[in-house]
């Protein structure tokens, strides 16, 4: 029986980019994404991982992550940020994406619009990219309060509008206190 390409990608991403109990999940069939060495990027950025996920071409862009709250400090508000850059001849990354965050037991979480293209003008409705000191870009996916109950928090970015998107390089999802 042939394996499901979506599962293969999920396993590969988990293998390469898991830190503690946090996973980055890139959805898509084999051939839409590929792993590239971080050192091959045309930026002088700092890297946490030896390899990053490079979007070759996809119509339905979907990226997710999850983290167990037990590894985070209790009674703390956290922000979750998609860390990425743009490589080469990117295409259609100006189309707004929906970002959301929620606890596993919630039906709906906090959701908003985000733009991945670095030159998105200020004042648009939604999250715009911010260049970090380490030369990567970040988009805030959302925030959550980590109380005293162990749970799983899921983060999600999805963009189904437009045609083929390409040129996105995903480093991971970062969680930090606000």
Which domain CATH number covers 102? 2.60.120
The whole-angstrom separation of Cα 76 and Cα 43 is 33
pLDDT of 172 strictly over 70 = yes
| Phi, then psi, of 113 in degrees rounded to 5 | -100, 145
Please state the rounded mean pLDDT for residues 8-27.
49
Rg (CA), the chain: 16
For 109-144, the pLDDT digits (tens) are 678 999 998 888 878 888 899 998 888 899 999 999
Amino acid 12: pLDDT: 44
Residue 47: pLDDT band (50, 70, 90) is low
Count of domains in the chain? 1
Amino acid 19: pLDDT: 47
- Owning domain of residue 105: 5-177
Q: What angle do CA 19, 20, 21 make, to 5 degrees?
A: 105
The greatest distance separating any two alpha carbons of the chain, rounded to the nearest whole angstrom, comes to 51
Residue 1: pLDDT band (50, 70, 90) is very low
């Amino acid at each position: 029986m042939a394996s499901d390409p979506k599962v293969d990608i999920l396993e590969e991403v988990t293998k390469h980019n898991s830190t503690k109990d946090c996973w980055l999940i890139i959805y898509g069939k084999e051939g839409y994404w590929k792993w590239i060495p971080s050192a091959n990027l045309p930026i002088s950025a700092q890297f946490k991982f030896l390899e990053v996920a490079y979007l070759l071409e996809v119509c339905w862009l979907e990226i997710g992550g999850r983290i167990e709250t037990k590894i985070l400090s209790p009674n703390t508000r956290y922000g979750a940020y998609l860390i990425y850059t743009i490589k080469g001849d990117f295409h259609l990354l100006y189309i707004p994406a929906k970002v959301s965050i929620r606890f596993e037991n919630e039906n709906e979480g906090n959701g908003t619009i985000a733009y991945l293209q670095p030159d998105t003008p200020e004042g648009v409705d939604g999250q715009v990219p911010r260049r970090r000191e380490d030369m990567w870009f970040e988009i805030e996916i959302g925030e959550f309060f980590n109380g005293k109950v162990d749970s799983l928090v899921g983060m999600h970015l999805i963009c189904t509008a437009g045609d083929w998107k390409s040129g996105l390089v995903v480093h991971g999802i970062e969680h930090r206190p606000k």
